[in-house]
Amino acid sequence: MAGAYVIYYDTASDQLLAEEWLTVGPLESAEIRRLPGLSQAPTFLRDLLSWERQDWVITRGDQICCTVEISRHGYTGDNGFQRFARLYRAAQLHIPNIYFTPFSRTRTNELDLGMGSARNVAPELFQTLMLLSDEFQIPCLAVRWPTDDTGTAIPLSDPRTHPALTEIRDIIFEILKGVPLGSNTAVEKTFPATVERMKRQAAIPFRGTETRRELTLPVDLENAGWIWNLLPVRYFEYGKADKALASIVLRTITHRPLQADLRPFWKAKGRAWVLFLGYQWRPDPASGLVALAASWARRTHMRLIVVWPRVFASAGPEYRAAIAALEEFKRAGTGPVYRELATVRRDRETIDRFRERLDDTRSQYGVYARNSKVGRILAETAELLVLGDVIIKP
């Protein structure tokens, strides 16, 4: 691997942190540059950036040595996978990667209410990083961002974070030696504490997912009945009331035509892996969840089908009807959305709270964009995308 080292950064804070912590040892003379946009990126960076931007990308010549993703939020629940697409993409390209994040955290809104209960970042995230490491035989490591007594991430200017930053730097320097490190299992000999913390987090019991499931084929793909059968019987009756914005689409649009010219694999015996996204049209956490589902489908040799009912192929009659129903609910508390909430057994207090917090009704449903970040990720990972109005091949 010839050439000078370059440390690419994403934001100004990433630049300052790199200048403070990385410009020593083998990186003492490294140039620090802003990550270019995808269209301006040199060829060797494009595959990596075609999905998302990492916080640090360390290169030598035209080779990517490693990437580092930095998140102080320590997202919980599905949001825990918000950065996962970046980690999966790096692994897929055989690039060692490091995720620096709290392993548990207290939610800010709970602290504001005088409550403090640290919640674990999804153990499944750490399990999957270990599996990716085994699959691609590269380090896929997570380093714990320290938290204080309230469960809040400690600022990086605080000396209590310095051991973790030193740990990241030591791992990077080991990678830069150019000796293949292999999987996390092999890395454990050099960084036993790092891998042990990951293993402990991965071993925390969790309930499992209700929205990523195996589908037995054949199915009548164009009719919505198979989606209802896939999800738990009372799935729409608990959790956030926002789920009703997905269930109403499935209930009112029972048939979705297929707009794809491909062999109908779903009509033959077999298996597929299905991801159900109940979210509005936005890249996070959808991008990470698609990548997570794709990593599982890849390992189990199944095709991936993504179901996203709150997103439509076009701003046609079905989309406009969904927006109109939501606007009526916000304005008068009546109409199809109210009836759907009642159908899925939401009580009056829950319905009123949901109506009160609905501000931007038009953002609750979306129109699919193939050239978006999540569109690019879907194009490389999903066999079929079941939208609110049609089924397409992304």
Angle of CA points 303, 304, 306, to nearest 5°: 150
Instruction: Give the pLDDT confidence score for residue 206 in this predicted structure.
Output: 76
Instruction: Give the pLDDT confidence score for residue 294 in this predicted structure.
Output: 96
pLDDT of residue 1 exceeding 60, the answer is: no
Q: Say yes or no: 371 and 265 in one domain.
A: yes
Q: Say yes or no: 244 and 191 in one domain.
A: no
Tokens of 150: 């309230």
Mean of pLDDT values over 264-272: 95
Last residue of a domain, one of 202, 237, 260: 202
Mean of pLDDT values over 323-334: 96
Count of helix runs (H) and strand runs (E) in the chain: 15, 16
Asked if residue 276 is part of any domain, the answer here is yes
Mean of pLDDT values over 60-64: 96
Q: Say yes or no: 73 and 184 in one domain.
A: yes
Report yes or no: 32 and 4 within 8 Å, Cβ to Cβ. no
Q: What φ, ψ does residue 148 adopt, rounded to 5°?
A: -90, -170
Whole-angstrom Cα Rg for the chain: 23
Q: Which domain holds residue 261?
A: 212-392
User: Taking the model in full, what pTM does it have?
Assistant: 0.91
Q: Say yes or no: 91 and 47 in one domain.
A: yes
Asked if residue 207 is part of any domain, the answer here is no
Instruction: Give the pLDDT confidence score for residue 117 in this predicted structure.
Output: 63
**pLDDT tens track for 97-107:** 999 999 988 76
User: What band does 60 get if pLDDT is binned at 50, 70 and 90?
Assistant: very high
Name residue, tokens 């035989």.
Answer: 137
Instruction: Give the pLDDT confidence score for residue 275 in this predicted structure.
Output: 97
Mean of pLDDT values over 137-141: 97
Instruction: Give the pLDDT confidence score for residue 73 in this predicted structure.
Output: 76
Cα separation of 89 and 67, whole Å? 10
Query: Which helix (H) or strand (E) element contains residue 151?
Result: none
Alpha-carbon distances of 101 from 98, 153, 201, 249, 303, rounded to whole Å: 10, 9, 12, 36, 31
* Chain CA centroid to CA 357, Å: 25
Last residue of a domain, one of 202, 236, 268: 202
Q: Say yes or no: 179 and 228 in one domain.
A: no
Beta carbons within 10 angstroms of residue 314's beta carbon: 12
Instruction: Give the pLDDT confidence score for residue 274 in this predicted structure.
Output: 98
Closest CA to 210 of 181, 241, 233: 233
Concatenated DSSP letters of 103-138: SEE--HHHHHTT----EEPPHHHHHHHHHHHHHHTS
Last residue of a domain, one of 181, 202, 223: 202
Mean of pLDDT values over 266-295: 94
Q: Number of structural domains, the chain? A: 2
Q: Mean pLDDT of all residues in the chain? A: 92
Question: Residue 152 carries which DSSP code?
Answer: P
**Taking the chain, what is the end-to-end CA distance rounded to the nearest angstrom?**
36
